[in-house]
Chain A
Amino acid sequence: MHSTFLFLIAALPFLGALIPGVTIRAGRTVCAAFALAPTLLALVLLGLLAPSVLAGEVITARIEWLPALGLDASLMLDGLGLLFAGMILGVGALIIIYARFYLSGDDPVGRFYTYLLLFQGAMLGIVLSDNILLMLIFWELTSLSSFLLIGYWTHLPEGRQGARMALTVTGLGGLALLAGGLLLGDIAGSYELSVILTRGEEIRSSALYLPALLLILLGAFTKSAQFPFHFWLPHAMAAPTPVSAYLHSATMVKAGVFLLARLWPVLSGTPEWFYIVATTGLVTMVVGAVIALFKNDLKALLAYSTVSHLGLLTFLLGLGTPFAAVVAVFHIINHLTFKAALFMVAGIVDHETGTRDISRLGGLARLMPVTALIALVAALSMAGLPPFNGFISKEMTLDAAAHAAWQGNGWIIPALTTVAAVFSVAYSLRLFVHVFLGPVREDYPRRPHDPVPGMWAGPALLALLVVLIGLMPSALVGDLVAIAGGAVVKGALPYYSLKLWHGVNPALVLSVIAVIGGVILLWQHGPLLRAWAAARRPEAKAIFDATVAACVAGADRVTRALHGGAISTYLAWFAAFALVLGVLAWAGGAHVPGSRPPLPIPPTVAAGFVLLIVATLGVISVHRTRFLALIMIGVIGLTVSAGFVYLSAPDLALTQISVETVTTLLLLLALNFLPRHTPAESSPAQRLRDAGIAVCAGIGVAALAYAFLTRDFSSISEYHLANSKTGGGGTNVVNVILVDFRGYDTYGEIIVLGIAGLTIYALLMSLLSGAAGRRLRNWRDTTPRSRDRHPMMMVVATRVMMPIAIMVGVYLFLRGHNQPGGGFVAGLVVAIAFLMQYMASGFLWAQERQRIEYHALIGTGVVIAGAAGVGSWLAGRPFLTSSYGYFTIPPIEEFELATAMIFDLGVFLTVLGAVMLMLYSLSRMARVAGETINIEPMDVDPSRRAADGEKEES
């Protein structure tokens, strides 16, 4: 029961994400309601599970997914997970309501809620995953969905750039984390967190501990915007404020902190952990607080303050003491309440006044009293003043800091923490004083007033929590902190007490210093801001952009060297590299000549070889004359087909001949648009180099073939031959291999073929609208053209042949399972039958007479083949298992039906569609080049002429 609930909680946001796109037609309110429903439902389910978790139970749920990779869909709900899941869903619900009023009717609201729910699901996935690989998948999903959310206002360049920056930084961190997670799983011998968490000793003593730690921290620090990766967070503020409030106060940026807390039992407690994590947190805390004071943009101020608070959490977890870890858990709750409230207040101010620039604001307290009250409570809590919840966690932080030493130095940590606290007080007070106090101004972009209750309800609820948690912390969140803290420290909880008054202790002294210092800073803010503005500071965005530009330029250079657009370059690299690998392998191994005696060469085979060699040499010598080269290539293809016939491979021969025909036809069409001759573009030296590579590669392949031919080896063929009839129900082994033994391969191949057809279509589409299209339009072919391009004989002959050819195709298709044939050849044969019609009467004439879209044909083929594969699931067997049976319907003799035939039908349709789509693409080129459209099937119609003549004579 519990495990079902757990799966439901994780799945609900994803299921809910499907709905807003539909419900938006019914308006924003309905859409918001439908986004709210899954969130609330998940929250209720979580509430049902909460008592057991608070009682100390860990709820798990598991489905085997990819056991071979150690990847299971296993979920776990412990105290820490409960805390985060509650935050994600609770704030999510508030944000959904808030966004209903914040977003305007012009925004695509349905899309917003879809993204938001996707993000919510991904976040829930992170905090509920038991499997570390599963968690990494959700981790990347949050990066992706937050990219969509940050760039939601696609018309804003800052939004797009900010989204890209966030994706780059967190995505790179995610990759590092993936490597770290794999290392961790490798050390622990399992990817299940519940197992990993019990292997702390082993992990910390492992040689791989440091690399794993560094990689994991890279992931956590990028996600949680720790110095020096903090720069993406302020730029992500280009997102709509609900997104900032959700992602950047409550959820996504806390994912890094969550990870640190989750792995705290196994990774912490070492000097490496302390010096890396605590120091990074400390630096981030100070840097973020200092910058925040000098930001004029309300959201930028909040962003840097978030950076600072994330630094604080990281620092607490980095200290490595159980007490600090519990304080971190408590502060996570407190930060959530006041920061989400403040972000929403910032959104309200922006929404009502039309600006977020603090220098243009002031005096709003009289105009927006409710908002001002919420802001006051939240800001004072952020400043760490009593009686609000921020005060308690700050006292405890300072207490933890006062007992910490850095390299034996007992004062540096308390001092830096206090500096951060001073600035924290200053920017918190500034947020309230400069925005809400002072005289009412006349020059707000809009007339501000309090918004509708739906908009301030969310922040008001959070502000209420701020006060209540401040006044009675143990009663309200004591249990939650205890159980979540217990989940972090995995052991006995340290002594701590959640209350406002701890008596006069060092922490209180530091706190008083911080408040006094903060007030002084705010008082001196004007001159300080001028000094700050005058100082030279590194601009993070410029550095980031320069780095990205350098990476792009580097990648560009490499790409241009390897893939310069000339096929000779590609092939040269490819062949040379393969050659080098081959030579290395040759040099590294001992070679024994094959023991199989060579067979005598029959004259027929010798003739074939001579023909092949002569034709190949012919291609080389005439390759500048394209039509001749094509004919030579045709000779090679037909000789190879003959070789297949000689070696008793009728299937291959059939396919080869059909493919040869189709490619020759299509190439002929394509050659129409190319110059008749290939100009010599490469220097003799280049040609010599290419010839050298080609000859060496050819010799290599020949040697390899010779080595294989001169020795006996067992291949899988024996198995195929033995099992074709009994396993696949067909006597044509080649076909059974294609549709059964290696059906998955074939499935992939037809998809590739379909994609190739679609790609040619798409490429030509963009080509024709570009420079190449203009050139084609201006191109006048000077070769004399026959006026009788669709001669009667050809037209009549193709019409006669079409039904016969299609019948041949059907015949080949039906008998394919037992005799040479099959869907692929049948598709080609039918395609040729159609191609002939197109050749005979012109493309458009034929096109008008067929009603099936080629794109749809490809899609249908792939779907049918896929359905045939999925069908075997219904029988409880793996994908693409074929089954067959024998049936008798009088008067037809007994025949066989196999599911493989359905699969083959899919192959048939895809091949047909792909070939015809390629033809269609080429004919579009012809039309752009000025080819005329014929209305009659043939140019010279003797029957009509005779009729015309008679009319004239009479």
Chain B
Amino acid sequence: MSQLSEVAISALLVISGLFGLVGSWGLVRLRDTLQRLHAPTKATTLGVGGALLASMLYFALTHGQVSFHELMISVFLFITAPVSANFIAKTHMLHHVQPEELPPTGRATGWAGYEAAGQGEGSGN
């Protein structure tokens, strides 16, 4: 294994570790749910992504096999992380944010989650 590839892999691992740490730290330190939501999403995408890249590089450069499993993992992560973040945010809003506190959407439809479909602010009344 060349020096260069070793450095590259190590760098990726360190970066992913840092993001993981920052994500965890944020989870502990940030004040409310919506703020806290930022931390783990960063950790999963960049932190895990870095580790996956490192793994790909490692197998490609040292074992000579190109592995696509990691790509699959990152694709799944990129799909699922936003969905779960979306769910957490929606739940939080439903429990803690009154509809009056929200700014108008400026469109025919209102905020999802507060109104039944087809009963947007501008459409019905």
Contacts and interface: CB of A to CB of B under 8 A. Distances in A.
Nearest to A840: B83
B117 interface: yes
A949 to B, nearest CB: 4
A952 B112 contact: no
A800 B112 contact: no
Given A945-B120, A948-B108, A948-B118, A787 B113 contact: yes
B108 A945 contact: yes
Contact of A788 (B72, B90, B108): B90
Interface stretch (B28-36, B49-57, B74-82): B74-82
Contacts of B108: 945, 948-949, 952
A786 B113 contact: yes
A940 B83 contact: no
Contacts of B82: 793
B87 A940 contact: no
Interface string A912-939: 0000000000000000000000001001
Nearest to B111: A788
A791 interface: yes
B79 A794 contact: no
Interface in B103-117: 107-109, 112-117
Given A787-B114, A787-B115, A787-B117, A797 B79 contact: yes
Given A788-B90, A791-B87, A945-B108, A952 B123 contact: yes
Given A791-B90, A793-B82, A800-B79, A784 B95 contact: yes
A952 B122 CA distance: 10
B76 A793 contact: no
Given A784-B95, A787-B117, A945 B83 contact: no
Contacts of B114: 787
B86 A791 contact: yes
Contacts of B94: 784, 786
A787 B110 CA distance: 11
**Candidate in A804, A940, A948 with the most chain B CB atoms within 10 angstroms:** A940
Interface residues of A, number: 19
A151 to B, nearest CB: 58
A941 interface: yes
Nearest to A789: B113
A791 B112 CA distance: 8
B90 A786 contact: yes
A336 B11 CA distance: 100
B116 A787 contact: yes
Contacts of A948: 108, 118, 123
A794 B120 CA distance: 21
A767 interface: no
Contacts of A794: 83, 86-87
Contacts of B79: 797, 800-801
Contacts of A787: 112-117
B76 A801 contact: yes
A936 B117 contact: yes
B76 to A, nearest CB: 7
B40 to A, nearest CB: 14
Contacts of A936: 117
Interface string A789-803: 001011001001100
A324 to B, nearest CB: 88
Contacts of A804: 72, 76
A571 to B, nearest CB: 34
Nearest to A794: B83
A395 to B, nearest CB: 96
A541 B49 CA distance: 80
B120 to A, nearest CB: 7
A516 to B, nearest CB: 100
Contact of B117 (A784, A797, A939, A949): A939
Contacts of B90: 786, 788, 791
Nearest to A805: B76
Contacts of A797: 79-80, 83
Nearest to B85: A793
Nearest to B91: A786
Contacts of A949: 107-109, 123
B83 A793 contact: yes
A787 B108 CA distance: 17
B119 to A, nearest CB: 9
Contacts of B120: 945
Contacts of A791: 86-87, 90, 112
A92 to B, nearest CB: 70
A944 to B, nearest CB: 9
B117 A941 contact: yes
B124 to A, nearest CB: 11
Contacts of B72: 804
Nearest to A950: B108
B86 A939 contact: no
A945 B123 CA distance: 10
A940 B86 contact: no
A932 to B, nearest CB: 10
B91 to A, nearest CB: 8
Interface in A746-793: 784, 786-788, 791, 793
Given A793-B82, A948-B118, A788 B113 contact: yes
Nearest to B107: A949
A814 to B, nearest CB: 16
B34 to A, nearest CB: 16
Given A787-B112, A793-B83, A952-B123, A940 B117 contact: yes
B117 to A, nearest CB: 5
A794 B87 CA distance: 9
Interface string A499-540: 000000000000000000000000000000000000000000
A803 to B, nearest CB: 13
Most chain A CB neighbours (cut-off 10 Å) among B76, B116, B117: B117
A575 B1 CA distance: 56
B95 A788 contact: no
A801 B94 CA distance: 27
A301 B111 CA distance: 87
A939 B116 CA distance: 8
A788 B87 contact: no
A139 B117 CA distance: 70
Contact of B109 (A786, A793, A801, A940): A940
Contacts of B112: 787-788, 791, 939-940
Interface in B61-84: 72, 76, 79-80, 82-83
Contact of B86 (A793, A801, A952): A793
Interface in A123-173: none
Nearest to B114: A787
Contacts of A945: 108-109, 120
A291 B83 CA distance: 84
Nearest to A795: B83
B17 to A, nearest CB: 15
Contacts of A801: 76, 79
Interface string A538-576: 000000000000000000000000000000000000000
A940 B113 CA distance: 9
Closest 10 CB pairs of A and B: A788-B113, A949-B108, A788-B112, A940-B112, A786-B113, A787-B116, A797-B79, A797-B83, A939-B117, A786-B94
Given A791-B87, A801-B76, A801-B79, 10 more contacts: A784-B94, A786-B91, A787-B116, A787-B117, A788-B90, A791-B86, A797-B83, A939-B116, A945-B109, A949-B107
Interface of B: 72, 76, 79-80, 82-83, 86-87, 90-91, 94-95, 107-109, 112-118, 120, 123
27 contacts: A786-B94, A787-B112, A787-B114, A787-B115, A787-B117, A788-B90, A788-B112, A788-B113, A793-B83, A793-B86, A794-B86, A794-B87, A797-B80, A797-B83, A800-B79, A801-B79, A804-B72, A804-B76, A939-B116, A939-B117, A940-B109, A940-B117, A941-B117, A945-B120, A948-B108, A948-B123, A949-B123
